[in-house]
Structure 1
Amino acid sequence: MNTAAIGGSLQEPEWLSRWRESPLPTDQGLFRFDGLGSVDPDQMTGRWRGTGLHTGHPLDGLLEWLNWYGKSFETPEIVHPLLFLGRSGDIFSIDPARVPLHWVLRGPMLARSRAARKLFAVSRYLLRSGGPTARLRKIEHRGVTSAAIVYDRQPIIDYLRRIDDDRVLGIMDLRFMPQPFFFLLARDGFERAG
C-alpha cells in the first residue's frame, strides 16, 4: 500500500488524492479498483462517510448535492446503504427502492436543480427506510472475491475493495447502467471522506 503513518492516522494514497481533485476516465478508475485487495464483510461493521469519485458518470456529485452521509453496516444482514444528513444534523436512512433512479439517470441536470433538492428535503420522510435495505455478501467481481452490498429491492450491487483498514473504494453496478459509479467510504471517526 502507498500509505504512511502521520499523526496516528494513515496518509491518503497519492492516486486517491489526485482522483479527488480531478476526474478519472472510467477505465483508469477500474484499473485502480482492480489493483486493490479484498475486504471481508465483517470488517465493514460500523458507520462510514461517503463521497463520490468522479469519472464523468451522470451521478457524479449528485449524492453530495443531496447531503449524502454514507452507509451503515450493523451486521452483514443489517445494512443501510443510503444515509443522508438532515438540516438539523440528524442522520437518516433512505430506502433505495423509493428513489426514482431511471428518472435521475435520464435527467441528471434536473436532479441537480434547486427544486429537486428542495423536493428531496421535503419528501425525505416519505423516502425513509423502516429498517435495513441491503445485505453484505462475498461476491467475485473482476477476478477478486470481496464484500459487496446487495440491495434488497433495487437491481444494484456495490462492490467494495480495501484501500486500508479505514477506507474502501466502491463501485455501484446498476443493471441498466453501462458505466459504474465510483465512491469512497471512510470509517466514521477516521476522517471525513469528502
Structure 2
Amino acid sequence: MSTTPEQKLVELTKRTGHIDEAKITAVYDQLKPVTREFLLGEWKGGSFDTGHSTHKLLETNNWAGKNFRSVDDVDPIVLYEEEGKRVWCEQYGHAQLREVKYRGIVSAAMIYDNFPIIDTFRYVSHDVVVGAMDNKLTPDEGTYFFYLTKIK
C-alpha cells in the first residue's frame, strides 16, 4: 500500500532535526488546495527545520501560529508570551486571505500588509494545513515551509 502525500507530511511533522527542503516541496506539490474560508479561526504553528532563517527566527521569538478572523483580518504572526498567552506580533502588521496560483495550483494565500511575503496553503487534513512562504526579501534562500494545526 502506498503512502499518501498527507501521510508523508504528517510523518515529516513528527521528525526533529534537519529536513531536506526538496522532500517537503515534493509532498507539498501533491497536496490539494484549500479555500480562504477553510482557514478561518486560530491555528497553532509548527516549523520544518530546512535550514531556512525563518525557522530559527520563529523559534527564537516563540511563534504560536496565526489568527484568521476573516478573509480581510488576519494576524500573520502570533507569538506566545511568557505566561503562554497568544498575542499578535505588531511589527509584522496584518494580512488578508486571497486566492493565488502558486506552483501550478490556485489555493488560499495570506498576503502580508507590511512585507512582500505571501504564505500559500495546502490541505493535509480537516485540522492541518502546510504553508509555503514566498518571501521577496530573501528570494535566494528558497521556500520556508511550515504547518498549522487548527485550535478553534
**TM-score, with structure 2 as normaliser:** 0.87
Aligned to 2:127: 166
Q: Is 1:16 paired with 2:40?
A: no
Please give the alpha-carbon distance, in whole angstroms, between the structure 1 residues aligned to 2:106 and 2:91.
25
Aligned to 1:180: 143
Please give the alpha-carbon distance, in whole angstroms, between the structure 1 residues aligned to 2:8 and 2:85.
33
CA deviation after TM superposition for structure 1 residue 93, in Å: 0.3
Letter in 2 for 1:158: D
CA contact (8 A) 1:171 1:183 kept: yes
Kindly tell me the number of residue pairs found equivalent between the two proteins.
147
SS of 1:13's partner is helix
Please give the alpha-carbon distance, in whole angstroms, between the structure 1 residues aligned to 2:104 and 2:18.
25
- RMSD over equivalenced CA pairs, Å: 2.0
Deviation digits for residues 74-117 of structure 1 (CA, Å, limit 9, x no counterpart) = 110010011111112221101344xxxxxxxxxxxxxxxxxxxx
Which structure's residues are more often strand, by fraction?
Answer: 2
Please give the alpha-carbon distance, in whole angstroms, between the structure 1 residues aligned to 2:110 and 2:25.
18
Please give the alpha-carbon distance, in whole angstroms, between the structure 2 residues aligned to 1:19 and 1:166.
14
Structure 2 residue runs of 5 or longer lacking an equivalent are none
Larger radius of gyration between Structure 1 and Structure 2: 1
**TM-score, with structure 1 as normaliser:** 0.69
Please give the alpha-carbon distance, in whole angstroms, between the structure 2 residues aligned to 1:184 and 1:80.
16
Please give the alpha-carbon distance, in whole angstroms, between the structure 2 residues aligned to 1:68 and 1:43.
22
Sequence identity (%) = 30
